[in-house]
Structure 1
Amino acid sequence: MSDDERIDALRPRYRADLAAGVGRFFAPRRADCPWCGSDRLATRLRTTDLLQHKPGRFTLDRCGACGHVFQNPRLSEAGLEFYYRDFYDGLGEKKLGNTFGGRTAMYRARAEALLPYDPAPKSWLDVGTGHGHFCAAAREVLPGTVFDGLDLTEGAELAERAGRVERGYRGGFPELAGELAGRYDVVSMFHCLEHSTDPGRELRAAREVVRPGGHLLIEVPDPQSRYARLLGRWWLPWLQPQHLHLVPVGNLRERLAALGFTVVAEQHRQAHDPVDLLAAVWLALDHIAPREDAPWLERRPGHVRRAVRAGLLLAGVPFLVAATVLDRLAARTVVGPLGLSNAYRLVARRDG
């Protein structure tokens, strides 16, 4: 089946989903911070879905007491299903699989972050594993470690069938924590905590699964990055509507300490992914250009609209190239000193 035929086959379902509008995709708006309970909230960002271009408008609020940034109102269960559909699996499976599969150096660096604290863990659970590409790369750094993966999507099962993980668990981490309690020397949560409806619950699950003396590795977008202010809605790590919570590093350190973890390493520059300017240029170009076909559109774009889109994107190539060069130059020189890192990484030891 061709891509056009697959999209046309999905169009009736999306049309039915959107028939009554997008209101049911949102939970009631909160009046307090989900992290600390303060009512000192202010709007941080309003935006649309800049990646899939599904209908809807999204708001991020910031807590004036603790700095926590969160989607408000956040997606309901129906909204999570609707906006995730065809992103990591379905229509998006091949594209995202190719993207994640080509980041071996970054995955190796994540695994190497543990080496000063445990050079030979026996067992490792990667939460939010996607298609398991991190585990496949990390095995080269830690050949004696058994890697398992956990994910809400069928990616965990795909990772097991592909041999990237020994065991792939499909489901929510808190729901599976009892079954996995005390089983792992290491639990990693790379860019998954921000997707959770309740980050505190995810952290409690991690404490249950990591053995005493074992380690928890967390990497998340940094809402305090200067790029977040400079690039506004075009900063990729906002990733609306998927990112529900963006936690300042001080907040996460305090919560981990309260759960009985000791943070042994905090990394900013090492966790930076040098794509901010490139992504901002691409998001802006893609926003300006006519939409490419998608099943949530009423009908397939005509030849003229497709030609206009192709022309605009072709004209933007020099800007994309320049942004790529500047991203790499900044990563080598000023990301650390200027506080531009778009992410941070914590390594925490579970106390005995």
Structure 2
Amino acid sequence: MPPVPPWGCSRPSAGSERRRSGTTSNVTTRAEHIATLRPGYQQDLASGTGRFFEPRQEVCPWCGSNRLRERLRTTDLLQHKPGTFVIDRCLTCGHHFQNPRLSEQGLEFYYRDCYDGIGREHAEKLLGASGSRQHHRAAAESMRHLVDPERWLDVGTGYGYFPEAARQVFPKTTFHGLDQGEGVTFAEAEGRIDQALRGLFTHLAPSRAGQYDVVSMHHYLEHTPDPRAELRAARTALAPGGLLQIEVPDPESAYSRMLGRWWLPWFQPQHLHLMPCRNLREALGDAGFTVVNVERRVPHRPVDLAAAVALRLSHLMPRDDAPWHPRPPSTTARRVRKLARTGGLPAVVAAYALDLSFGPVARRTSFSNAYRLLARRG
């Protein structure tokens, strides 16, 4: 998930508006839909959240060191699903990871209705925002003079907005998109990708060995249980000399220390691993890649302060209606929430203005919140 404010002001695309017309855009219809989902969620939560987590790890999954320190303890600040999540930092290599990590049941529970289902409209609005589209095009532009790809695989493509932007730079390229969610099928239907592939990259890569000139992973690797396995899968899928482009949040950003749990790229509980740049560079070398470029300025998105304010305000508000809550909010709670959203919006806007003003400095300093690597297969 790209680091964008949870109160985005962008509009969905015209195509997504047409698809939603007459479905869940009506408040009553949404409430009815949530009511049908509530019994299933309440049954999932009846025995608590313990089964959603694996046993706690006593050593770093990246380097094996036992020198671990808790960096962060938080709740789900976006969907407000129940649970407490911990990020540990390895004092030896600097790797950050969720500990204890979500189990398979936990991944299913916390991803459910985030990008698909009742969360689809919000996810599509944020992922398709104009700022995100410009960011995607810049990422593609950075490769214009390095490759003339015939086939390109975008891993973790979501609704296909990155391939859509990259096609403007590489109009003759065939774009495939891979994801586990239903968004990838909508991306194909909308023409943003030429072929939708649904499933796990590590499972699919052997059947696509050597077929791609470029593989891209934008804000995908941090979601995966085993990032090193994903790098090996990328090497398998790429043709000799092919390029791998990776963009991830930077856990060493000064904003991560300054904002604490309110720094959006922590993105709990979905981000399982956050890797310092030096660690990812070494892992790419181990997987048979040569890093040809590291970029920190362009990947930075100036939203840290606005997102932190929005997350804090959302945390203080009465909860919105959602099936993982035992019951719908009362009329009073709805009114208070609406007033709080209206009253808090100027603070979010003011914080965003500061983000934009400080952006040029952040891009050139340790405040940059993301980095992008370009690596060539052996």
Determine if contact 2:300/2:363 at 8 Å carries over to the other structure: no
**Displacement after TM superposition at 1:116 (Å):** 3.0
SS of match in other structure, 1:47 = strand
Q: Decide which of 130, 133, 141 is 1:104's aligned counterpart.
A: 133
* Displacement after TM superposition at 1:275 (Å): 0.9
Q: Does the alignment pair 1:319 with 2:375?
A: no
- Check conservation: 2:209, 2:238, Cα contact below 8 A: yes
Shift, 1:350, TM fit: 1.0
Structure 2 counterpart of 1:56? 83
What is the alpha-carbon distance in structure 2 between the residues aligned to residue 16 and residue 224 of structure 1?
39
- Separation (CA, whole Å) in 2 of partners of 1:39 and 1:208: 32
Write out aligned runs for 1:27-42 (5 A): 27-42=54-69
Matched, 1:18 2:40: no
CA distance in 1, matches of 2:252, 2:57: 22
Residue 240 (structure 2) aligned to one of 212, 220, 226: 212
Q: How does 1:1-352 map to 2 (within 5 A)?
A: 2-102=29-129, 103-118=132-147, 120-332=148-360, 334-351=361-378
Q: TM-score, normalised by structure 2?
A: 0.91
Separation (CA, whole Å) in 1 of partners of 2:226 and 2:288: 19
CA deviation digits over 1:137-191, x for unaligned, max 9? Answer: 1101110111100001122222112211111100000000111110000000000
Query: 2: CA distance between counterparts of 1:259 and 1:99?
Result: 33
Identity rate, percent:
57
Paired letter, 1:39: N
Is the CA contact (8 Å cut-off) linking 2:179 and 2:198 kept in structure 1? yes
State the shift of 1:327 in Å.
0.9
Q: Secondary structure at the match of 1:278?
A: helix
Q: Helix, strand or coil for the counterpart of 2:251?
A: coil
Q: In 2, distance between residues paired with 1:289 and 1:90?
A: 23
Between the aligned partners of 2:47 and 2:142, the Cα distance in structure 1 is 48
TM-superposed CA distance for 1:338, in Å, is: 2.9
Q: How many residues align?
A: 349
Deviations 1:302-343 (A, max 9, x none): 1111111111222212211111111111112x1133311111
CA distance in 2: counterparts of 1:290 and 1:94, whole angstroms: 21
Structure 2 CA distance for aligned equivalents of residues 176 and 144 of structure 1: 24
* CA displacement, residues 50-89 of structure 1 (integer Å, 9 cap, x when unaligned): 0000000000000011000000000000000000000000
CA distance, structure 1, for counterparts of residue 127 and residue 89 of structure 2: 30
**Unpaired segments of 5 or more residues in structure 1?**
none
Q: In structure 1, what residue type is equivalent to 2:135?
A: M
